[in-house]
Every structure is written in structure tokens, then in C-alpha cells.
Structure 1
Amino acid sequence: MKSRILALLREKGAVISGECISDVLGISRVSVWKHIRKLQELGYPIRSSAKGYQMDGDFDALYPWEFSHQAYKIYFHQQLPSTMDAALELARNGCDAFTVVIAEQQAKGRGRLNRVWHSTKGGLYFTLVLRPEISPVFLFQINFAVALCIVQMLNELFGIEAGIKWPNDILVGKKKICGMLSQMEAEAEHVSFLNVGIGLNVNNLPSAVEPGAISIFEILGTKVARRKILSDFLARFEAFLNQNDIGNILVQWRQCSLTLGRTVRVVTTNNVVEGRAIDIDENGGLTIRLADGTEKTVVYGDCFH
């Protein structure tokens, strides 16, 4: 019901009476008042007067009812230690595929290799629970698809030219705008779930604590609606998975890559590999041509270039 009330207020723009809302939605005026009161308590800028109610500006909210057709799969929290931890519990308890856990802020947000992800207010921090019916060896496709969808979304919604640094960092220029972390549980060849955590710098100021980071706000000079970003990403990602095969994903990933063709240094748990990044193999590994002309493929590590 909250989503329908908000839709009416946003559509009208002007004052709309409680009686009108009551008639359109088929609920009592008391019920309208209670819903409006709750929305005001949550921070929505709704002005009340003798004539009715009016939305006084927008509110960058990520509550479930902002995603009407997916509301039952959205779990929003003002603060969490980590959306990955909350999503892990939900996944193990059998939640639906495409369940989304969102946090306004994270106290212990983390990226790859347990690095701290600064999760200040204004960013978009969420974990997506997936249940792909593919072999664990091909799960890298999911991470590649997520990265591609984010790059495409940034370009189409905001005109931001982003690219992908292997394996899954999204950069604008040389600065990081988005990071990803994935976690899966599987038995033999059956994947129980794959959780993909995403931290996108939107209206926050990450460069204040991390000089190598940047946000949409810092690029555009204006704040944008995070719910629009999340809605677009979820629809885009689901459609992408339904329409693309591994060959197509690799082709598109190569086109968006900031790593291929560069001299790189990849630090793994056992050694350091240096050379020229020349390709991505069918398993998502980075193929590097070494100084002696031989080639080596690394499947995991920290890539610098």
C-alpha cells in the first residue's frame, strides 16, 4: 500500500486530499493517515495540511515498497555489519533466488581478500542471492555478467565511461567506483547458492578516505536516485543472464576490459606474475605473456597496472 500512496503523491506533484487517496486506493481515510504518518517517520518529505498531502521533493529511499514487483525479495537495513553475512544466513535458510539484502551503512563492509570497504551513507551496498544451475567452475560468468551490467548501466543512465579491471573492479579512469565480492556454497557439481556483494559509490564521498576511489556524485556534481540504479541493475542483470551464453559474455567483457593489452603485475598467494595481459580464457583466467615469451594463466590474484 505504501508504494501505491507514494506513486499517487509523486504523480500528482500538487496537494492531493486524503479523501481522494482513500477513493483511489479503496481504503479508509484513517488507513491513509496511518500510512502517511509512517512514511513521514521514515523520512519521506510529505507535507500535511488541511487540504491534504503533498510530496515536497524526492527521498532517496531503498525500502522494499520502492521496488513494488520485487518487494517481497528486498531486505533493507539502516545498518548491518555486512550485507554478505546477512545474505549468507538467508541463503542457507532457503530464500528465493534474486533475494536482495541492502544496507544504508555497513560497519564491517569488506571486499576481496578481506579488505575494508568503506560503507558510508549515500553509497549503494547490497548482496544478491543467486541459485544458478551451472557447474561451480563456470561461476565466474556470473561475476563477469554483474560487472558488465554495472558498466553498461553507468554509461546509459549517466554517461559515465567505466571499464573493468580484472577480475571484478569497476574503474572510471584510474579510480574505483564499484567493487564486488562473491561467496558460494556447493556440493559436488551442484551449486546451492552464489551470493554477490556489490558496493557502488553513488552519493557518498569515498575519496575523502580512499584517494583511489570516486563516486557518481563526484563525477556528475549532483546526487542521483539509488533506487533507480538498483531497479535498473536488477532488471538488466536478470535479462542479461537469460539472453547471453558464456561466449557472448567473454566477448563483451573483453570489450570493456581495462586490463587486456596492459603490462600487469598479478600477486597470488604463492607468487608474483608480471607481463603483458593478452586474453581471458574460457574459465575467466587472465593469460599473461611473460618477458621470455611464454604464457601463463592466473585464475585468482591481485592485479596491478
Structure 2
Amino acid sequence: MFDKELFEKHLATSWLGRSFYFFEELPSTNSYAKKIKDMGSLHGAVVLTDHQTGGRGQYDRKWHTSAGENLTFSLIFEPQKAERFSLLTLACALSITEVINEMCGIPAVLKWPNDILHDGKKLSGILTETLFLGNHLERVVVGIGLNVYQTEFEGNLSDQASSLKLEAKADCPREELLANILQKIEYRYRLWNQHNAKLVKEINKVMIGFGEWKSLKVNGENLQGKYKFLGVNEAGELLALNKDLDLKTFAYEQVRVV
């Protein structure tokens, strides 16, 4: 069982995670975070469950998780503008990779657009969703799943996924992991909110394929030829050069780096 008191003991943030909703079981932390009502601001609230029974990834793919073994949680943000959410997703992913490396000794990397890998296997995934009231952005919900203690995965996931327990050189308690992740994300949210160019540089350094000639798949179809992957820009768009050195930009939803 997740130890809330131990988590609070380690938490060193100013605002992120200070409002904390814990459930032993939930279908989806993202779904709950989108529906929750409060008279005041929910900015910085965190929803965590010890067992997520209906977790979702991109394109409504199921996120399978074992009870009491992983971190499945959602962050609620209330930014002023409805823009650059793909960059916010990557900022959260970067923060997780740093904690994994520092606490567990695992050199994790980012896979565009929202996965964290080690040695080709997925450790963590992120699903960012928005909630609007008419034309007004009410909140952004960043859902995160991190495989911590799980050692067995269903079907072909055994070849595609791994966990900190399987890969780590040290024990990585979930409560301390979450506290450290939130501290990193709080810092990177500030950079994101300030349009600080440092954030983009930090993200690109740990992106798989950065600076390499790669194949691109757009809307499910392979583009002809190779493209030099230049990472992302400050708008969160993917940048690539074709063989004629023409710079191409792609939206988050369009492109995959193969």
C-alpha cells in the first residue's frame, strides 16, 4: 500500500502535490482528475491510485498495471493559455528520466512523443488531456504511469516493457520516487510557463534519435527518404531536415520517429 505519510515526509515542493487525492483503486486517475470539482483552484493537485483498473494510453490503448506495484497518477494544471502542451508533456517526461537516473541508476531516455525507455523497453508513459468550458481552458491533466515493482507483463508486453525493479541498481521506494518527480516537474513547469529556451535544450539532449537521420511516419504512413531529427522547438513541434536540407515541422499528433 502506498504510504501517504512517508510521501508527505519526502515532498519538498511549493505547490505541486500539496493537494493530494489518494485512492486504493480507481478506473483512471485522468478521468477522475477531469471530473473533480472544487470551489477554488485545482492547480497543482495530484490524483494517485494504488490500483488503476482502466488505465489508458495514446489512441485509447490500455495501460496494464499490477495493484500496489507501480505509480499511476495524474497532475492537474491550470495554465493561462491553451498552447504548447506537447512540450509540457516532454517536460514531465524529462523530469521522470532524471529521477530514474539519480535514484535508481538507470539511464532512461525519451521517445517522441511521450514515452520513457531504458534499453529499448518502456518504463513509463504519459497521457496529456485538456478540459474546456466552451472556449475557456479549465485544466490540463497529465496522466503518468511508471512501472516500479512489477516484474511480469501481459502478452507481448514482456518484450516491450520493463520496470525499475528489473533494471535498477538500487531500491526505489514509490513514495520517495513520486516526491522527487513532483519536485522536478514543479521546476520544469516554471521553465515551460516562462517560455525558457533552456527547457527545449534539456529535452532534446535525451531524445532518442536526436541529430540522427531517421525514418518518419506521418498519420500512419512512412515518408519517403530519411530525415535528420532535430528534436523539438519551443512550440513543442518536431523538427526535421530532409535530404535537400529543407526544415520541416510536424505537430504532436502527426508524426512518429521510426
**Smaller-chain TM-score range?**
0.7 to 0.9
Contact conserved, 2:29 with 2:47, CA < 8 A, in 1?
Answer: yes
- Is 1:161 the counterpart of 2:107? The answer is yes
Equivalences, count:
245
Counterparts of 1:221 and 1:229, CA distance in 2: 15
Using the TM superposition, give the Cα deviation of residue 163 of structure 1 relative to its aligned residue in structure 2, in angstroms.
Answer: 0.9
Relative to structure 1, the CA distance from residue 177 to residue 93 in structure 2 (aligned partners, 3 Å threshold; closer, same or farther) is: farther
1:53 — aligned with what? none
Aligned sequence identity (%): 26
Larger Rg: 1
Question: 1 or 2, which has the higher helix percentage?
Answer: 1
Residues 261 and 92 of structure 1, relative CA distance in 2, 3 Å threshold? farther
Report the CA distance between 1:171 and its aligned residue: 0.9
For residues 163-209 of structure 1, the C-alpha deviation after alignment (integer angstroms, 9 at most, x for no partner) is 11111211112111110000112468853210000000100125454
Q: Which residue in the other structure is 1:79 paired with?
A: 25
For structure 2, list consecutive stretches of 5 or more residues without a partner in the other structure.
Answer: none
**TM-score, with length taken from structure 1:** 0.71
Q: What are the superposed Cα offsets for residues 124-180 of structure 1, whole Å, 9 maximum, x if unpaired?
A: 1001111122x2222333212201111111111111111111112111121111100
Give the equivalent residue in structure 1 for 2:174: 226
1:238 is displaced (CA, Å) by 1.2
Are the counterparts in 2 of residues 110 and 116 from structure 1 also a CA contact under 8 Å? yes
Distance 2:104 2:247 in 1: 39
Q: 1:235 aligned to 156, 161, 183, which one?
A: 183
Residues 163-182 of structure 1 aligned to structure 2 (within 5 Å): 163-182=109-128
Please tell me whether the aligned partners of residues 70 and 148 of structure 2 are also in contact (alpha carbons under 8 angstroms): yes
Shift in alpha-carbon separation, 1:287–1:72, aligned structure 2, 3 A: closer
Amino acid at match of 2:8: F
For the residues of structure 2 that align with 1:85 and 1:154, how far apart are their CA atoms?
A: 26
Contact 1:264-1:303 within 8 A present in 2 as well:
no
After TM superposition, the structure 1 = structure 2 runs for residues 190-201 of structure 1, keeping only pairs within 5 Å, are: 191-201=137-147
Check whether the contact 2:128–2:143 (CA below 8 A) recurs between aligned residues.
Answer: yes
Q: How does 1:110-129 map to 2 (within 5 A)?
A: 110-121=56-67, 122-129=69-76
- Give the equivalent residue in structure 2 for 1:202: 148
**Uncovered stretches (5+) of structure 1, i.e. residues with no partner:** 1-59
**What is residue 132 of structure 1 aligned with on the other side?**
79
Higher-RCO chain (CA-CA 8 Å, sequence separation at least 6): 2
- Measured after TM superposition, the shift of residue 271 of structure 1 is 4.3
CA separation of 1:283/1:240 partners in 2, compared to 1, >3 Å: closer, same or farther?
closer
State the match for 1:269 in structure 2. Answer: 219
Residue 152 of structure 1 aligns to a residue in which SS?
helix
Cα gap change, 1:215/1:77 in structure 2, threshold over 3 Å: closer, same or farther?
same
TM-score between both structures, scaled by the size of structure 2: 0.82
* SS in structure 2 at match of 1:106: coil
- 1:287 equivalenced with 2:233 (yes/no): no
Alignment root-mean-square deviation, CA: 2.8
**In the alignment, residue 125 of structure 1 is paired with which amino acid?**
T
Is the alpha carbon distance of 1:239 and 1:278 closer, same or farther for their aligned partners in structure 2, counting shifts above 3 Å? closer
Matched, 1:149 2:98: no
Task: Please give the alpha-carbon distance, in whole angstroms, between the structure 1 residues aligned to 2:37 and 2:221.
Answer: 34
